[in-house]
Amino acid sequence: MLLKLTVLPGDGIGPEVTEQAVLVLQAVADGFGHQLQLQTKLIGGAALAAANDPLPADTIKACLESSAVLLGAVGSPAFDHNPGHLRPEAGLLRIRRELGAYANLRPAVFFPALEDCSPLRAELVRGTDIMIVRELLGGAYFGSPRSIEGAPGSRVAVNTMRYGESEIERIARVAFELAMKRRRKVLSVDKANVLECSRLWRDVVTRVAKDYPEVKLGHQYVDSAAMLLVQRPTDFDVLLTENMFGDILSDQAGGVVGSLGLLASASVGGPVGLYEPVHGSAPDIAGKGIANPLGAILSVAMMLRHSFQLEAEAVCVEKAVSAVLSQGARTADLAGKAHAAISTTQMGSKVVEAVKAASH
Ligand code: IPM
Ligand code: MG
């Protein structure tokens, strides 16, 4: 199969982790007899610096002509004081929209080898396997009007949280379909005691649930869901959320399983899937060669599964990651006291070796 992709390394640790993810993908392609065709384009701060545009037209075109897009991270303190449309993040939000990627799947799976990494007691976190289904193109991230206006000292800021029934319905269907292939539980998160958007959300999700009688649907206010996520993480199967609640809870889920650096994501629903680790650009550690590449590598596994239907290849990558963790490989975020930390490239190489060993 021809794997035609665009790589958007982006900012901070993005280039370091995507480099390792691409090496793993190359090893998979070699081992399973696929052909990899890559082009690299600019997004975020890197694109602002080069072209004063966080998402140049040429990047959009390349992505739309690919079968899948691999993204590193976006965000740089150098542009913190830019107006909203000239911030790196504007490029990320726009590429999600251009690709129609309304469904962001963020698995948070506990690796048995990482018992010492979770801040939670092993008996609580053991067995955690959550699929966060985050709506990605609506809510406060995209609603208008939005503004900051007025004179310094008396400025007023406005954002708009907006959801239409069809947007809620399509993401709810994604959650229920996934639940059918898992443990058949959906927990829908909202703030229906306060927000109209959430009342509509609960209404529509309840209606969609009627088409999935085998799936057990629960509703939880987001504050309470945040608490349950640390108290009883193994109770969760599919966690369905609007855009901002999903952003927050997915970082928390990363903490629960031991490190945000482990979390991968797939942003799907449109013609071209976008695959990105959940972590950000981490400017504090950028360029040091210590970032954890496993989130990006596991995003490649999701790409193989969701964009190319290459399940065996996806499982090969996931097993390789699991194997190197079991051997004790740890980047700095996972090292703790008992292990010496290895570098980004060393971790990447270990996964490449494990893929090679499994696929030849
Ligand atoms: C994420 C990130 C982004 C988001 C930022 C960088 C815009 O935090 O993918 O979780 O909020 O969606
Ligand atoms: Mg986030």
Percent of the residues in the chain that have a pLDDT greater than 90, as a whole number? 98
Please report whether residue 111 resides in a domain.
Answer: no
Number of domains in the chain: 2
pLDDT in tens, 78-107: 999 999 999 999 999 999 999 999 999 999
Task: State yes or no: pLDDT of 336 exceeds 90.
Answer: no
74 lines ligand 1 (CB under 6 A): yes
Task: State yes or no: pLDDT of 360 exceeds 90.
Answer: no
Ligand 2 centroid distance, CA of 14 (Å): 14
280 lines ligand 1 (CB under 6 A): yes
Q: What residue owns the CA closest to ligand 1's atom 10?
A: 247
Told to judge if 141 belongs to the known catalytic residues of this protein, a careful annotator would answer yes
d(CA 333, CA 277) in angstroms, rounded, equals: 15
180 with 124, same domain?
A: yes
Q: Which of 203, 211, 223, 235 is catalytic?
A: 223
Told to judge if 251 belongs to the known catalytic residues of this protein, a careful annotator would answer yes
Question: Of 231, 257, 283, which one is at a domain's C-terminal end?
Answer: 257
For residues 251-256, give the mean pLDDT. Answer: 97
Contact 108, 253 (CB under 8 A): yes
Domain that holds residue 130: 119-257
Q: Which of 141, 163, 212, 275 is catalytic?
A: 141
Give me the phi and psi of 254, to 5 degrees please: -60, -45
> pTM here?
0.97
Question: Of 202, 222, 257, which one is at a domain's C-terminal end?
Answer: 257
189 with 247, same domain?
A: yes
Lowest mean pLDDT among 73-77, 115-119, 157-161, 228-232: 115-119
Question: Of 238, 257, 276, which one is at a domain's C-terminal end?
Answer: 257
- Give the domain CATH number at 29: 3.40.718.10
d(CA 75, CA 281) in angstroms, rounded, equals: 6
Report CA dihedral (297, 298, 303, 308) to the nearest 10 degrees. 100
d(CA 274, CA 300) in angstroms, rounded, equals: 10
Indicate the top mutation candidate among 71, 247, 248, 250 to test ligand 1's pocket, ranked by most ligand atoms within 8 A of CB: 247
Q: Which of 30, 116, 129, 251 is catalytic?
A: 251
Cα dihedral across residues 317, 319, 320, 324: positive or negative:
positive
164 with 199, same domain?
A: yes
Residue 47 — very low, low, confident or very high, per pLDDT cuts 50/70/90?
very high
Cα dihedral across residues 124, 296, 274, 136: positive or negative:
positive
268 with 249, same domain?
A: no
253 with 127, same domain?
A: yes
Please report whether residue 113 resides in a domain.
Answer: no
pLDDT score recorded for residue 359? 87
Neighbours of ion ligand 2 (CB under 5 A): 247
pLDDT score recorded for residue 150? 97
d(CA 54, CA 343) in angstroms, rounded, equals: 29
Q: What residue owns the CA closest to ligand 1's atom 2?
A: 280
